[in-house]
Structure 1
Amino acid sequence: MSNWQPWAIQVATLIAWIVITTGLLQTGFYIVQLVYAGISLAARPPIARASLLWRRYADQAPAIAVLAPAFNEEVTIVESVNSLLALQYPDFEVIVINDGSKDNTLQRMIDHFGVAPVDRFHDITVAHNPIRGLYASARIPRLLVVDKENGGKSDALNAGINVARAPLFCSIDADSLLEPDALLRAVRPFIEEPVETIAVGGTIRIANGSRIEAGRVVEVRLPRNFLALVQIVEYLRAFLMARLALSRMQVLTVISGAFGLFRRRIALEVGGYSHGTVGEDMELVVKLHRHMREQKKLYRIEFIPEPVCWTEAPDNLAVLGRQRARWQRGTLETFVKHKSMLFNPRYGRIGFIGFGQVLVVDVLGPVIEVFGYVLIPLLWAFGLLAFEYLLAFLAITFTFGIFVSVATLILEEIELRRFPRARDLAILTLIAVAENFGYRQLSNVWRLHGYWQFLRKQQGWGQMTRKGFQSG
């Protein structure tokens, strides 16, 4: 170390402290989230039997319009719509929005469900591309198909909001499968707090490897593909820990576009989904927070872990990388658009805790962590950093990462028990360890690519190849 100028050692030490402090802040957020997630599960334990839910809530359950945007979904559209029509809920309508698909998505629905053109009055409150036609069938009165010019997912959802008539709407992905009691479980906060609740999110789980029949997951199985396995751990950490905890604190900034329940009137007040962003799900939730805070109205945005939506996860590096870059770009778009909320007393806890967490974990986190991967070992190797700094960085990066993932699996087993076999939990525990050695680093590189796309103002989703749900 004596061969280097003192200023070089000071610069190296400063870099190390920035990287380590940011890592400690992220770790601190995760530990607090674990505690809050445990408290939340204990305070509102899951109701095990759907029959009990039905007896308790069926008479009070408000009508729901289930909005399913579809673009080139011919592989999965019939299975997905069958799943939606089989939902166990007293009063709901399924609205599939064909967003100018270039494949046979619309024709498959016409052929399979027998829908035909109909006239129906609809609202024009929020903007979207023109609707070319509405399709329905007297044989399946719960199903309405909207055919419109392509405008992207947010545009399609806005068309669905306009066409819907129910006080609540549920936004999902057309390539996902809702569990039969998912709506009944998700609507619980709207019944318990009918005035204040304006949005509720549910859990997204990975269907890869599971046995699916007639649009339902009938047996939960782990996939054999490593990328699909590691995403199971990621999704558990994101939903069962992070979103459950942030909901408990009332600072939840994201309800997944794959499964969210919203009060239609409030969504119309904020202009529906915004165009020109790939993070329309997060942006809508932030707009709701902003609107209600500026109106000085009491409100609640909740997350409920029991209602589950099953989705097909990417199982190759190229598709997964595009997805993660897109997610990062959407987060940055929303953060920059609403940056005036950050640490602004006008927005209360959402400005300080909610946006503060986004700043540390999503905005600064990937940049500084990748910076640390390269510089901390390099500076140590050149003798500019003491071994203690390298050790601290490795501890934060690996030890705490493993701890958070394994603790989330423990929460899953204690409260929800979705994995029927002990062998499954053992495999996921090994994956929770392995993901920190290579996959986590690659994931942050993908997020940096999302940064680059954001800085270049790149638009569009990129190609997302899907294999479709396999029955049997």
Structure 2
Amino acid sequence: MIMPSPEIIVASTLDTVLFIVIATGLAQNGLYVLQLVLAMQELATQRPEKRAGLLWRRYADISPPISLLVPAYNEELSIVDSLSSMLALNYPDFEVIAVNDGSTDGTLQAMIDGFGLKPVIRHYSEAVPHQPLRCVYGSPQYPKLVVVDKANGGKSDALNAGITLSRFPIFCAVDADSILESDALLRAAQPFIDDPVRTVAVGGTIRIANGCRIERGRVLSFGLPRSLLGLFQTVEYLRAFLMARLAWSRMRTLTIISGAFGLFKRQTAIAVGGYSHGTVGEDMELVVKIHRYMRDRRQDYRITFVPEPVCWTEAPESWRVLGRQRSRWQRGALETFFRHGDMLFRPKYGRIGVVGFGHVLIVDVLGPPIEVLGYLLVPMLWFLGLLSVDYLLAFLALTFVFGIFVSVASLILEEIELQRVPRISDLALLTLVAVVENFGYRQISNLWRLRGLWQYLRGHQGWGVMSRVGFRHT
């Protein structure tokens, strides 16, 4: 038997590796194109009502009461503005439960001073596990506001404390560094109104507040971030929410609702044990737990995304802080995927197991390491003369041409359907950024995600320091 030469073995191995790189890239980009098509179909069939007054007349009398849960850890800079905006929401019946999760700065004192809070007695029974509560505060001036001080336990634990203290059938989880538009709750509650039996969770859109004019917890006018890093994130958020989540919502395979703005049926959240501890991806993990719970019991249900309600959030302006955030997001996705990995491709879990978890496998689990491997191997092998021009062109097309197409198409879709970018100059700038981000920023993002994979494999826990400057009043 003649053994192949080392040169043949090396060449065969390289061909196999490059085939895997190209095939994974094709699968990723095929999913992105599918998302774009599905998002276009959904927006074409679900035309948003732009007049808030008409929405109020139509839904105010039948809107379910909602508890807003606001976990806060070291949010001294923005907490009063954020809570003020929530208390001013245009919604018939709601309460705001702010949970101070053992902050080490002046977060609690800022809320006490800002709203004239005093200790109060509030009866409750523990619905889900969380750290002990220290004190509950309220104020006659702000009857809708409840502030809870508790021992530090992390974001999941703070949200569970909010669930325990909430009194309404639906709760809305909102980040403390976020600002909701005045009609956001009314728009987000529509699926619960239209289909109250089957709807168990609803997600809204997250947008970047950097560069916007903000006063007293309200976004008065839209503006783009002044930094290139902020612009990159603006394009990312448009692509992620308008395209990806809208598409998977249409297919009923949505695996994540942003922790910054998501509505859940309280009874269902309690049934699955609330938010899980020991994960930094508590938002995704809760949604997946609900999918599993409902599928295991063969119950008909809906988890949906609505693009019109908007929550504005402060994006990191530092490369280091953004890198920590993206590595943490990657860890959260991996934690959820492997915790519920037995759902992958199992007929019992239907399209969520095949399409939803299949998407997570290709994009979040396999995508970052294989794409980074392509960044390293393809140029090196081409330079050494070991790679054909056909392979090189295929990889460059997957890396740059598809990326540019998807990003620009998302902007076009946003402008045609939602028209949230009012100035032509801003739209032109975002289009340019959508092109430029593929030459450097996308590659750096994959390195951050690869770091998140390494942290997951090492069992790293914790959020890391996420420094903020607070909403600027311009």
Kindly report which structure 2 residues correspond to 1:416-427, keeping only aligned pairs within 5 A, or say none.
416-427=418-429
Q: Distance in 2 between matches of 1:112 and 1:403?
A: 47
Q: Tell me which residue corresponds to 2:101.
A: 99
Which residue matches 2:74? 72
Residue 303 of structure 1 is matched in structure 2 by 305
For residue 175 of structure 2, the aligned residue among 144, 161, 173 is 173
Report what 2:367 is aligned to: 365
Question: Match for residue 338 of structure 2?
Answer: 336
Distance 1:286 1:423 in 2: 40
Q: Does 1:191 align with 2:164?
A: no
Structure 1 counterpart of 2:77, which letter? V
How big is each residue's C-alpha offset from its partner over 1:43-78, in whole Å with a ceiling of 9 and x where there is no partner? 111110110110111111000000000001111011
| Cα shift readout 1:208-267 (whole Å, capped 9, x = no counterpart) | 011001101111011110000000000011000000000000000000000000000000
Q: Which residue type is aligned with residue 241 of structure 2? A: F
Equivalent residue for 1:229?
A: 231
CA distance in 1, matches of 2:51, 2:218: 17
Indicate conservation of the 8 Å contact 1:117/1:134, yes or no: yes
Paired residue secondary structure (1:59):
helix
1:49 is matched with which residue? 51
Partner of 2:314: 312
SS where residue 62 of structure 2 aligns? coil
Distance 1:223 1:443 in 2: 19
SS at match of 2:61: coil
Counterpart-to-counterpart distance in 1, 2:381 and 2:25: 18
| 1:399 paired to 2:401 | yes
SS in 2 for 1:205: strand
1:4 deviates by 8.2
Q: SS state of the match for residue 94, structure 1?
A: strand
Ranges in structure 1 where 5+ consecutive residues have no aligned partner: none
Q: Contact (CA 8 Å) 1:204, 1:308: kept in 2 or not? A: yes
- Contact persistence 1:12–1:379 (CA under 8 A): no
Deviation sequence 1:401-443 (CA, Å, 0-9, x none): 0000000000100011111100011000100010000000000
| Mapped contact 1:132–1:149 kept (Cα < 8 A) | yes
Aligned partner of 1:272 in structure 2 is 274
**Residues in 2 aligned to 1:94 and 1:44: alpha-carbon distance in whole angstroms:** 30
Counterparts of 2:232 and 2:256 in 1: how far apart (Å)? 21
Which of 218, 221, 241 is 2:220 aligned to? 218
Aligned residue in 1 for 2:124: 122
The equivalent residue for 1:439 is: 441
**Distance between the aligned counterparts of 2:127 and 2:400, measured in 1?**
50
Distance 1:99 1:448 in 2: 30
TM-score of the superposed pair, with normalisation by structure 2 = 0.98
Counterpart residue number, 2:264: 262
Aligned pair partner of 2:203 in 198, 201, 223: 201
- Which residue number corresponds to residue 383 of structure 2? 381
Amino acid at match of 1:412: E
Aligned equivalents of 1:109 and 1:435: distance in 2? 39
> 1:138 & 1:73 partners in 2: Cα distance?
24
Q: Which residue of 1 aligns with 2:462?
A: 460
Within 2, Cα distance between the matches of 1:314 and 1:74? 17
CA distance in 2, matches of 1:147, 1:27: 46
Q: Could you state the TM-score of these two structures normalised by the residue count of structure 1?
A: 0.99
Note if contact 1:78-1:112 (Cα within 8 Å) is conserved in structure 2.
yes
Q: Deviations over 1:330-363 (max 9, x none)?
A: 0000000000000011100000000000000111
Percent identical across equivalent pairs? 65
Distance 2:188 2:195 in 1: 13
Secondary structure of the residue that 1:58 maps to in structure 2?
helix
Aligned to 1:5, what secondary structure does the other structure show? Answer: helix
Q: CA offsets, 1:247-305, max 9 Å, x none?
A: 00000000000000000000000000000000000000000000000010000000000
How many matched pairs? 470
Distance apart, 1:7 and its partner CA: 2.3
For 2:156 and 2:41, locate their aligned partners in 1 and report how far apart those are by CA, in whole Å: 34
1:50 & 1:471 partners in 2: Cα distance?
A: 25
Rounded to whole Å, the distance in 2 between the matches of 1:138 and 1:43 is 45
CA distance in 2, matches of 1:242, 1:369: 20
Amino acid across the alignment from 2:36: L
Unaligned runs of 5+ residues in structure 2 are none
Q: Give the distance between the partners of 1:437 and 1:160, measured in 2 at CA.
A: 43
Q: How much does 1:41 deviate?
A: 0.6
CA contact (8 A) 1:64 1:167 kept: yes
Q: Give the AA of the match of 1:116.
A: K
**Do residues 112 (structure 1) and 138 (structure 2) align?**
no
CA distance in 2, matches of 1:301, 1:353: 15
The answer to whether structure 1 residue 250 and structure 2 residue 249 are counterparts is no
User: What is the deviation of 1:379?
Assistant: 1.6
Partner residue of 2:15? 13
- CA–CA distance in 2 between the matches of 1:47 and 1:76? 31
**3-state SS, counterpart of residue 351 of structure 2:** helix
